[in-house]
């Protein structure tokens, strides 16, 4: 009797890129795409972290994501909510330094407002 060996298949860990520049290898140790980006010091404005508000909505240039559960926020076909998804393939997002600066501004204003309240 001829025995065949089992065929092992491995899924490659997705590479996440910003404007075509690779920034991280998503190895599944993070809870979400948002968390993985935050670990790499890539800031995206977010609020609810559960797909409800849509604050972290990000344009996907290429690739696919898989959601933990269907997000409630309205999305176009080329958008994702990093707070409640993980990459399902290599992923290229439309995030740029200009976008990050725009996103960081509300946080800076909040910090300034908190400082005024403290003084």
**Is 10 inside a domain boundary?**
no
**Is 9 inside a domain boundary?**
no
Report the number of distinct structural domains present in the chain. Answer: 1
Is the separation of the CB atoms in 62 and 91 below 8 Å? yes
Question: What secondary structure, in 3-state letters, does 53-109 show?
Answer: CCCCCEEEEECCEEECCCCCCCCCCCEECHHHEEECCCEEECCCHHHHHHHHHHHHH
pTM of the predicted model as reported, rounded to 2 decimal places: 0.72
**Is 65 inside a domain boundary?**
yes
**Is 1 inside a domain boundary?**
no
pLDDT tens by residue, 33-89: 999 999 988 888 999 999 999 999 999 999 999 999 999 999 999 999 999 999 999
Domain that holds residue 70: 15-118
């Amino acid at each position: 009797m001829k025995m065949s060996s089992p065929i092992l298949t491995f899924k490659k860990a997705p590479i996440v890129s910003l404007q075509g520049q690779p920034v991280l290898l998503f190895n599944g140790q993070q809870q979400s795409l948002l968390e993985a980006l935050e670990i790499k010091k890539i800031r995206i404005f977010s609020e609810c972290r559960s797909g409800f508000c849509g604050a972290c909505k990000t344009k996907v240039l290429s690739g696919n994501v898989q959601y933990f559960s269907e997000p409630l926020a309205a999305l176009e076909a080329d958008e994702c909510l990093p707070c409640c998804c993980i990459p399902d393939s290599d992923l290229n997002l439309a995030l740029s330094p200009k976008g990050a600066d725009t996103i960081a501004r509300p946080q800076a204003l909040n910090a300034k407002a908190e400082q005024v309240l403290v003084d």
